[in-house]
Amino acid sequence: MIQGIIGKKIGMTQIFTDDGRVIPVTMIQAGPCLVVQKKNIAKQRAKAQLGFVEPKPVKHVTKPQKGHFEKAKVPPTRRLHEFLMAEDEPGVGDTIGVDIFSENEIVNVRGTTKGKGFQGVVRRYGYAGGRATHGSMFHRQMGSSGSTTYPGEVIKGKGMPGRMGGKQKTVMGLQIVKIDKERNLLLVRGAVPGFNGNYIYVLKNSFKRR
């Protein structure tokens, strides 16, 4: 058993149940992935390095990367990621697909959120700001950042302007509504991090390292 699979976010849509309910889902191109390498770092820490197979072949491959893929006897891939394994299988060169999941299974999806650039505190943290009328001159500022006498410094963790988004985030407890094995598609209930076309990692919530 392997912990998860590499995927690519396609976009969001909705499906209808037999009783007429609407379910918002995210379409994920989950695999196919090839096992490029297996590692045994320590006891009960077996890992498998997967490579995400895409329709277009990878052209510019460095010599170290080329040797890495030739050793595994697999074609070069653009995206590599390591997942934990609970057993000796799968082996190097094996293909991992959506068949490792089942419908109604609970999974965790990890990805990189959309980058918003440098933002102020109103957008970044939802600060109310000041009044907008009567020449207050205090509209979207952050206000006081700390006391002067004691402790006489800005307290660690204070919300300030800065880079927003572009961070790794894991959404837990998402349900797999439907699986399309022919096209390697997962339909997961709810939203997942990142923009359309972003690489994400679908992890088994029930996976337990032995």
- The 10s digit of each residue's pLDDT in 36-50 is 888 876 655 788 888
* Same domain, yes or no: 90 and 38: yes
* Same domain, yes or no: 89 and 121: no
| Domain assignment present for 19 | yes
| Domain assignment present for 210 | no
Determine which helix (DSSP H) or strand (DSSP E) holds 168, and give its type and residue range: strand 168-180
* Same domain, yes or no: 19 and 74: yes
Give the domain extent around 71.
Answer: 4-112+170-204
* Same domain, yes or no: 133 and 194: no
pLDDT greater than 90 at residue 116: yes
Residues 6+ apart with CB under 8 A from 30: 5, 6, 7, 97, 98, 101, 184, 185, 186, 202
Confidence of residue 118 (pLDDT cuts 50, 70, 90): very high
* Same domain, yes or no: 28 and 44: yes
| Domain assignment present for 143 | yes
Q: What is the mean pLDDT of residues 176-199?
A: 90
* Same domain, yes or no: 183 and 101: yes
Confidence of residue 210 (pLDDT cuts 50, 70, 90): very low
Confidence of residue 87 (pLDDT cuts 50, 70, 90): low
* Same domain, yes or no: 41 and 125: no
Residues 6+ apart with CB under 8 A from 76: 51, 57, 58, 61, 65, 66, 69
The pLDDT value given to residue 181: 87
* Same domain, yes or no: 84 and 132: no
**Identity (one letter) of the amino acid at 157?**
G
* Same domain, yes or no: 82 and 63: yes
pLDDT in tens, 161-174: 999 999 999 999 99
The pLDDT value given to residue 188: 93
* Residue scoring higher pLDDT (195 or 210): 195
List the CATH number of the domain containing 24.
Answer: 2.40.30
Q: Which of the 8 DSSP states describes residue 2?
A: B
| Domain assignment present for 47 | yes
Identify how many contiguous H helices and E strands the chain contains and give both numbers: 2, 12
| Domain assignment present for 63 | yes
* Same domain, yes or no: 137 and 174: no
The pLDDT value given to residue 44: 56
Answer whether 95's CB lies under 8 Å from 77's CB: no
Q: What is the mean pLDDT of residues 140-150?
A: 85
* Residue scoring higher pLDDT (48 or 12): 12
Number of residues written out for the chain: 210
Q: What is the mean pLDDT of residues 4-26?
A: 90
Number of domains in the chain: 2
pLDDT in tens, 98-108: 888 888 889 99
